[in-house]
A and B are shown apart, each in its own frame.
Chain A
Amino acid sequence: DQQVKQNSPSLSVQEGRISILNCDYTNSMFDYFLWYKKYPAEGPTFLISISSIKDKNEDGRFTVFLNKSAKHLSLHIVPSQPGDSAVYFCAAKLDNYGQNFVFGPGTRLSVLP
């Protein structure tokens, strides 16, 4: 049973509009969440993270929101650019099991010019 779910395998957005990528998790003990971005033929690269003590973290065009009661987080990209087209992975971590991230299956974002 997947502990981290990304229920949308793909998403298409027009350039300049907002992209919203969603992630749900089942383990309430997760205390740190990350988003990774992956281009074809490359490894994932770290994008943004959020601790469970916060509900929002912003970095430029990227904002991650965390709703602990709903066990849900989302990544907002505003404005979306064609270079944002990639696969986005949500990952979660347990603080006392720190070597292991649990990754979601990924969402493929296509930003259309």
Chain B
Amino acid sequence: NAGVTQTPKFQVLKTGQSMTLQCAQDMNHNSMYWYRQDPGMGLRLIYYSASEGTTDKGEVPNGYNVSRLNKREFSLRLESAAPSQTSVYFCASSERLRHNEQFFGPGTRLTVL
């Protein structure tokens, strides 16, 4: 059981470049989430997917898009990266939307120059 996996672990982009962060879970969870963590701040929710086929905006969705490809996979796309998107990105999953415990991936450290 790998739990929640994320690729890549590190990425450096130039302003304006695009990229997709990949996330997969093998726990048969219905709900998946993308967070970002910035220094001195808690994790902030970017987008979430309550179940396969649905996605919704979280607290800080601007500049991002997501795709719930199937029950296992939830990707986060930056169409035109900006320095303000330099952050550590965490994917998480939970059994269902209102379940209290979320399981997190190891994170992707993204730097936008």
Contacts and interface: CB of A to CB of B under 8 A. Distances in A.
Nearest to B4: A43
B42 A106 contact: yes
| Range class of the A interface residue count | 20 to 34
A34 interface: yes
A18 interface: no
Given A91-B42, A99-B31, A99-B50, A43 B98 contact: no
Nearest to A102: B42
B61 interface: no
| Range class of the B interface residue count | 20 to 34
Contact of B42 (A41, A49, A104): A104
A4 interface: yes
A46 B3 CA distance: 13
Interface string B38-58: 001111110010100000101
Contacts of B98: 95, 98-99
B21 interface: no
A98 B97 CA distance: 7
B26 interface: no
26 contacts: A2-B41, A4-B42, A9-B40, A32-B100, A34-B100, A36-B104, A41-B107, A43-B103, A43-B104, A43-B105, A43-B106, A44-B90, A49-B100, A49-B101, A89-B43, A91-B42, A95-B98, A99-B58, A99-B98, A101-B45, A103-B43, A103-B44, A104-B42, A105-B41, A105-B42, A106-B42
